[in-house]
Structure 1
Amino acid sequence: MANENEQQIYRGCISQQLEELELLNYIYCKPNELQLLDPSVVTDYNEYLEKSHTLPAAHLEYIIKLPIMGNSNNIDVRIELPHLYPKLEKARISVHSSLLGKLKEEYLQQEITKYLEEQQEDDTEPYIYQLLSWLQDQMEVLLKRPASEFTSNEVPVEAEASTNLERMWIYSHHIKSTTKRQELIRQARQLELSGFSRPGKPGIICIEGDSANVQEYWRSIKSLRWQKITLVRTETKQRKRRFDNFTEQLFNAEGSSNSEEGIMNMGQFIKFLDDHGSGYIKAELFGLA
């Protein structure tokens, strides 16, 4: 992804986040109804949009005290927006309320996760207000249900969740170090993951397998020294793998050197993605239609 194109995508997402925040401030306008965890992020974002080429490190985070009909107490909804929300990353939502017991709160958190996963893949519009409206409806129904309905059997256990397949798409400014290339392969095979890495500039990694192992892989490799590395997309609860094992793929253009310095053959790369049922990701990696 060209740097200019990257900047355009980040600026578009951050602009949408600020516009959405302005709308939410208008709707949830009572004292302390909307609380920014770090108000300076708004200033940093505005400066970034006006003149800066350096993406602020902090994310936009806030808490909305969501009123529940017929109840004097509120539900605290914590919202964290990754830099690429809403185009390429999903919002991170958590809820806390004295109105709910532990099992009801766990159940509601699972329903939120399902709601976010069901957002359309091509939906690039902000959706926090819609989610909050949905949450209010869920809370009103949930509060009427007896606590006895929520047993430990109804809440998925970690052992069941860990059998889910997960897939991650990772973008790096470049992957050139031989040591780093070998480590990417070694870690994937040690954790029994499949996918591929494309060394060079840009560097691209796709990894899939047991969710816990995929998360461990990401924690491990992002601790290596990178000029820039970004988690572009996470796909949870996958039914099956798309790759048989983990390999390194160069996708070098004809006549280009057979090394990480070679020019990337975009047609060859897109065909590889299509052959593995993953053609959709080209838009998120490169901004291609």
Structure 2
Amino acid sequence: MTGIEEAEAQLSEIELLTSMFPSQNEFNIRDQLALAELREYVEGRTDYLPSSRPEFVIHQKMDTEDLKGLYVSLFKVTVAISCTYVVDYPNVLPDISVRCPELSRAQQARLHADMNAHLKENCCGEVCMLSAVEWIKDNAHLYITKNPAAQGLQRVSTETPPVEVFTRLWIYSHHIYNKVKRKNILEWSSDLGLSGFCMPGKPGIVCVEGPQASCEEFWARVKVLTWKRIMIRHREDIPLHSQSGGEGNVTSLRRFSGFEEAMFDPHGNRGNHMDLGQLYQYLNERGCGEVFQLYFGIEGR
């Protein structure tokens, strides 16, 4: 980050994309902490330059013609457009990558080269992600050709079944005191079949793990409550292989046997601070010790 103007442009673009793609299935910010640091810098609440670079992904379903002309109907493809801001953006292009199962590596390389050439010519010094999305919508079909095997599959189905994903969300809150919120967290995790824990106090920490859709539903419910500050500090997504048995995979990947509210020797005038050494031991016993440093910036012991 070289200046406040770049930071303001980046934050404005993220807010615009959030309003245009309100669903997490369409627009997902991968590092909420990076966004929080960017916002604090733009709003003048800190003089420190953001230490992380915002990353996000935009998912779009697009109709693509069969280029060999064997079928009249269109088939749908799902395109994932990933973006990582660089320090000088929008003075230089961000790192943009396009992923699609129907794209070969050679097709993907050509698409990237042509997209970047278009953006350099038309978006120099300006934010460019909407232009990138529109260009991909207009041109992706030119790079996607179906092979004979894929053509055969199209007679049965026009869409590839979604890959099941196991997700673990590590949520950070400035504090968790309110009894109603704590009750909601316990009830919602149970309703959605999620395991993990909630550490109330200041700061507040929540971990939920289970099927991706259930974790995202939990986050959608929690984030709309009134908080001073709440964010996904870290996210783990692990694809499940159906041939191994999805439910068995979920069970084997869980680090927590159920969901609980965990207290670690509360102290302080209001009894709202926890013993972080005990928290580290709790995490370490469950194979999650490395997360402690992500939350607090120091190695646990």
> Which TM-score band applies after superposition, normalised by the shorter structure?
0.5 to 0.7
> What pairs with 1:33-44 in structure 2 (closer than 5 Å)?
43=5
Which ranges of structure 1 fall in alignment gaps of 5 or more residues? Answer: 1-14, 20-41, 49-55, 63-77
How many pairs are equivalent? 212
TM-fit CA distance, 1:150: 6.1
1:59 aligns with 2:14: yes
Could you say which residue in structure 2 is the equivalent of 1:278? Answer: 288
TM-fit CA distance, 1:211: 1.8
Contact 1:196–1:248 (CA under 8 A) maintained in structure 2: yes
> What pairs with 1:161-176 in structure 2 (closer than 5 Å)?
161=164, 164-176=165-177
TM-fit CA distance, 1:99: 6.9
TM-fit CA distance, 1:183: 1.2
When normalised by structure 1's length, the TM-score is 0.57
Q: 1:99 to 1:178 in 2, by over 3 A?
A: closer
1:148 aligns with 2:161: no
Could you say which residue in structure 2 is the equivalent of 1:129? Answer: 95
For residues 208-262 of structure 1, the C-alpha deviation after alignment (integer angstroms, 9 at most, x for no partner) is: 1122211111111112111111112222236411101000112236xx37x9734
Contact 1:104–1:150 (CA under 8 A) maintained in structure 2: no
Contact 1:88–1:232 (CA under 8 A) maintained in structure 2: no
Could you say which residue in structure 1 is the equivalent of 2:237? Answer: 236
TM-fit CA distance, 1:132: 6.3
Structure 1 letter corresponding to 2:77: E
Structure 1 letter corresponding to 2:297: G
Could you say which residue in structure 2 is the equivalent of 1:29? Answer: none
Per the alignment, in what secondary structure is the counterpart of residue 77 of structure 2? helix
1:265 aligns with 2:275: yes
Q: 1:194 to 1:228 in 2, by over 3 A?
A: same
Name the CA distance, whole Å, in 1 between partners of 2:107 and 2:28.
17
Q: 1:79 to 1:47 in 2, by over 3 A?
A: closer
Could you say which residue in structure 2 is the equivalent of 1:105? Answer: 77
Q: 1:156 to 1:105 in 2, by over 3 A?
A: closer
Contact 1:201–1:261 (CA under 8 A) maintained in structure 2: no
Structure 1 letter corresponding to 2:236: E
1:247 aligns with 2:260: yes
Per the alignment, in what secondary structure is the counterpart of residue 224 of structure 1? coil
Name the CA distance, whole Å, in 2 between partners of 1:133 and 1:156.
14
Contact 2:203–2:273 (CA under 8 A) maintained in structure 1: no
Name the CA distance, whole Å, in 2 between partners of 1:138 and 1:129.
18
Per the alignment, in what secondary structure is the counterpart of residue 186 of structure 1? helix
For residues 45-103 of structure 1, the C-alpha deviation after alignment (integer angstroms, 9 at most, x for no partner) is: 2599xxxxxxx6862778xxxxxxxxxxxxxxx99786617948642144688876665
Name the CA distance, whole Å, in 1 between partners of 2:169 and 2:54.
12
Name the CA distance, whole Å, in 2 between partners of 1:203 and 1:79.
23
Q: 1:178 to 1:95 in 2, by over 3 A?
A: closer
Could you say which residue in structure 2 is the equivalent of 1:188? Answer: 189
Could you say which residue in structure 2 is the equivalent of 1:53? Answer: none
Structure 1 letter corresponding to 2:184: E
Q: 1:213 to 1:150 in 2, by over 3 A?
A: same
Could you say which residue in structure 1 is the equivalent of 2:57? Answer: 92
Per the alignment, in what secondary structure is the counterpart of residue 151 of structure 2? helix
Per the alignment, in what secondary structure is the counterpart of residue 131 of structure 1? strand
Which ranges of structure 2 fall in alignment gaps of 5 or more residues? Answer: 18-26, 36-50, 67-73, 112-142, 240-248
**Identity, % of aligned positions:** 25
Could you say which residue in structure 1 is the equivalent of 2:222? Answer: 221
Q: 1:207 to 1:81 in 2, by over 3 A?
A: closer
Contact 1:195–1:247 (CA under 8 A) maintained in structure 2: yes
Structure 2 letter corresponding to 1:91: F
Contact 2:172–2:206 (CA under 8 A) maintained in structure 1: yes
Structure 2 letter corresponding to 1:268: Q
Name the CA distance, whole Å, in 1 between partners of 2:225 and 2:158.
40
Structure 2 letter corresponding to 1:275: E
TM-fit CA distance, 1:264: 2.0
Contact 2:168–2:210 (CA under 8 A) maintained in structure 1: yes
RMSD between superposed Cα atoms in Å: 4.5
